[in-house]
Amino acid sequence: MLAFILRGRMKIKFKLIATAAAGLEAVVGREIRNLGLECQVENGRVRFDGTVETIIETNLWLRAADRIKIVVGSFSAKTFEELFQGIFALDWENYLPLGAKFPIAKAKCVKSKLHNEPSVQAISKKAVVKKLQKHYARPEGVPLIENGAEFKIEVSILKDVATVLIDTTGFSLFKRGYRTEKGGAPIKENMAAAILLLSNWYPDKPLIDPTCGSGTFCIEAAMIGMNMAPGLHRHFAFEEWNWVDSDLVGRVRARALGQIKQDIQLDILGADIDARMVEIAKRNAEEAGVSEQIVFKQMRLQDLHTDKINGVIVSNPPYGERLLDDDAVTKLYQEMGQTFEPLKTWSKFILTSDEAFEAKFGSQADKKRKLYNGTLKVDLYQYFGQRVKRQID
């Protein structure tokens, strides 16, 4: 009964943002529009409006985003007093039920008069506490008990404008939940998905990852091809909130399950010279529920041959801090160029931080896109195949 009462006075419409790695904002924007939502793409984020159901759906379905956050409010804050009053004025009672945990998990100050981030966190916490004490008629000096669900609050101050957010996601969206084990420096799942969405691969084309490692590209491609929501195998922070209807969460998940294309058969090959990594990739694919869509095999890159046409090769080969021996990297890239050269109709998408990649590979990319794999600047080298019509039997 209490949960019903609390839900009844909580918000119905929300201002939301999906955060994204630099260079991937447009991909996330396209995904959001494909969910039928209008949005505005900015540096590092995409803004949109929605309901509780929107929060559930975007967490469940967005492949390239990092997190979904609620925008509680935004205001000018050039002094700590303005910060306190601005946060106190926000409608915290519509988000935080009595007993909620509400850490100020992050404060970030850029080009602002307020730049002491620990002080921003402390003052923000004090303002929220005072507002909730007033709303729930708790006397000052008596601490609020925080033993319920957690609502992580973030305060971002850019050019003296404070934006206050609540994270709905929990662990970042790249943590799909299917990785039983990973290699030394694997690509994040959402980065892999974004590269596939940036490529010219479609589920009717063959796909090969000749340096598959723990299988991330192949698994993400299989999930895209099967129309499998990437968040199906994980839990989200909002699921603990008493104003998010668990029945609604169940219905949205059930709807996503019903949209999986179980009868499709994809042509995906993942290969790696390391037999141990191939076994890890197989286990990860099994955990993700896509093992029947992917063939994994131990194979040297130089042994890659195929008579198929109009396919896509995607690779995240060892580079930079992932392999200290520069001579070995150079040799690998040269072998890549020689092995891929006969595959005229195949497009190739190769991610590396090596700025001399094109010289080592042996040809200049048709297009190059700057991205960030974590904090490491990388480039996606894109080579487009010569399109030919398939022969119809």
Strands 376-383 and 347-352: antiparallel
What pLDDT is attached to residue 43?
Answer: 93
Sequence spans of domains, the chain = 1-167, 189-230+258-383
Q: With respect to CATH, is domain 189-230+258-383 assigned 3.40.50.150?
A: yes
The pLDDT score that the predictor gives to residue 125 is: 97
pLDDT at residue 149, rounded to an integer:
96
Structure tokens at 356: 């001399």
What tens-digit pLDDT sequence spans the chain (393 residues)? Answer: 334 334 445 789 999 999 999 999 999 999 999 999 999 999 999 999 999 999 999 999 999 999 999 999 999 999 999 999 999 999 999 999 999 999 999 999 999 999 999 999 999 999 999 999 999 998 877 889 999 999 999 999 999 999 999 999 999 999 999 988 877 667 999 999 999 999 999 999 999 999 999 999 999 999 999 999 999 989 999 999 999 999 999 999 999 999 999 999 999 999 999 999 999 999 999 999 999 999 999 999 999 999 999 999 999 987 654 444 778 888 999 999 999 999 999 999 999 999 999 999 999 999 999 998 878 889 999 999 997 776 554
- Amino acid found at 375: T
Q: Is CATH 3.30.2130.30 the right assignment for the domain spanning 1-167?
A: yes
Residue with tokens 């939940």: 177
User: Looking at the whole model, is its pTM more than 0.85?
Assistant: yes
End-to-end, the C-alpha distance of the chain in Å comes to 65
Give a three-class secondary structure readout of the chain: CHHHHHHHHCCCCEEEEEECCCCCHHHHHHHHHHCCCCCEEECCEEEEEECHHHHHHHHHHCCCCCEEEEEEEEEECCCHHHHHHHHHCCCHHHCCCCCCECCEEEEEEECCCCCCHHHHHHHHHHHHHHHHHHHCCCCCCCCCCCCCCECCEEEEEECCEEEEEEECCCCCCCCCCCCCCCCCCCCCHHHHHHHHHHCCCCCCCCEEECCCCCCHHHHHHHHHHCCCCCCCCCCCHHHHCCCCCHHHHHHHHHHHHHCCCCCCCCCEEEEECCHHHHHHHHHHHHHHCCHHHEEEEECCHHHCCCCCCCCEEEECCCCHHHCCCHHHHHHHHHHHHHHHCCCCCCEEEEEECCCCHHHHHCCCCCEEEEEEECCEEEEEEEECCCCCCCCCC
